[in-house]
Structures are given as C-alpha cells and as structure tokens.
Amino acid sequence: MGEFIAVIIITILAVVSPGADFAIVTKNSYLYGRRIGFFTALGISLGVLIHVAYTLIALAFVIAYTPQFLNIVKYIGAGYLIYIGYKTFTQKPVIDMSLLTKINSFQALKYGFFTNALNPKTTLFVISTYTQIVSLSTPKIILLGYGLFMSFAHFFWFSLVSILFSSMILRQKMLAKQVHINRIIGSILCVLGITLFFAKFQ
C-alpha cells in the first residue's frame, strides 16, 4: 500500500509540474480548439507508455550493456524540444483564424506523442519510479498497472488543460496576445531543451 501511494503522489507531482507537455497542449488548445488539445493530450499519454514499456522490458539490459542509449534519447529529445520551441517562437500571429493552417487529430496526437516520448524528463521520471520506489518483488501485473496509471494521469490532467485553454473567453484573450504567448512558450521549450541537452543521467 505504501508503494502504491508513493507512486500516485510522485506521478501527480510529475504530471502537474510545468514542462514541454504543458506548453504544447496549451498552444494547440488555444490555437486550434478543444478537440486538437484533447488529441494532443492523448498523444502525450501514449508517449508515457513508451517509457514504461522499455523500462519494464529492458531497463536492466540497457543500464548494464548500453548506457549510451539513455544519452542518445537525451540528445534526440533535447533537439526536438529546441526545434519546436524555435518554431513556436517564430510563428507569425494569426489575424484571420480562417487562414490558420489546420492540423488534424492525427497530427495533434503525433505532436503530443513525440513531445513526450522524446522527453528525457519523462524518461528520468519513469525509470527513477521503477528503480527507486517500486520493489523488485512487486508482481509484473502490478508494475504494468503502475504504468497504465501514469499514462492515464497524464491524459486526465492534460485533457483538463485542453478544456481550460480552449474555453472561448480565455482563448480569445490568448489569441489577442498570441505573439507574446508564442514567444514565452517557445522560449520555455528552448530553455528546457538546452537544459536537458547538458543534463547528466545519474
């Protein structure tokens, strides 16, 4: 029971802490609306399952024989965050919403998925949870349950974020200041990417 409570608390704290996932859901929600924000959140939750899968299947092998794999993930993820941060920072304001280049549900899901799947912060969160909090004697079905909970927690929280930032009143206010908002979001993503690029896995 203590292990279960620890996993819940750590997951909630990790999910609600601002980061790349929050930034991309906020951007897609206020620019494209609730449905696109929702699918972005779904993509993020699926990305979490990637971290859970390789952690459960091959963590011991990766750490023992190919520790450089974690660095490869780190560099790819950091580069991706810097890239989407730059694209967001330099995005031109949309005066006429009818002229906004639309993205479909699959594209939104893809953005969310890769933002999370390539995020070293999530890598560290999942790996540290399974190696420092969860006991080696915990049944595999319980370990899988923890992973599904992590995924659901991400989906639930970021769905709420998409609902909030796609509300008509808030969305109109954010669209009126979209240049400043895009620069703030873009800067945050770039800083996160640069920070993660130089971070060291312990």
Q: What's the structural domain count of the chain?
A: 1
Phi, psi of 177, deg, nearest 5: -120, 35
Helix, strand, or coil (residue 119): coil
In angstroms, the CA 184 to CA 161 distance is 17
Domain that holds residue 40: 2-13+20-198
Determine the pLDDT at residue 64.
59
Q: What mean pLDDT, rounded, does the chain reach?
A: 80
CA separation for the pair 169, 114 (Å, rounded): 30
User: What would the pLDDT profile of 55-103 be if each residue is shown by its tens digit?
Assistant: 887 665 665 566 676 677 677 767 877 887 787 788 776 554 554 567 8
pLDDT digit string (tens) for 1-50? 678 888 888 788 778 776 788 888 988 888 888 999 999 999 999 999 99
Tell me, what's the pLDDT at 33? 87
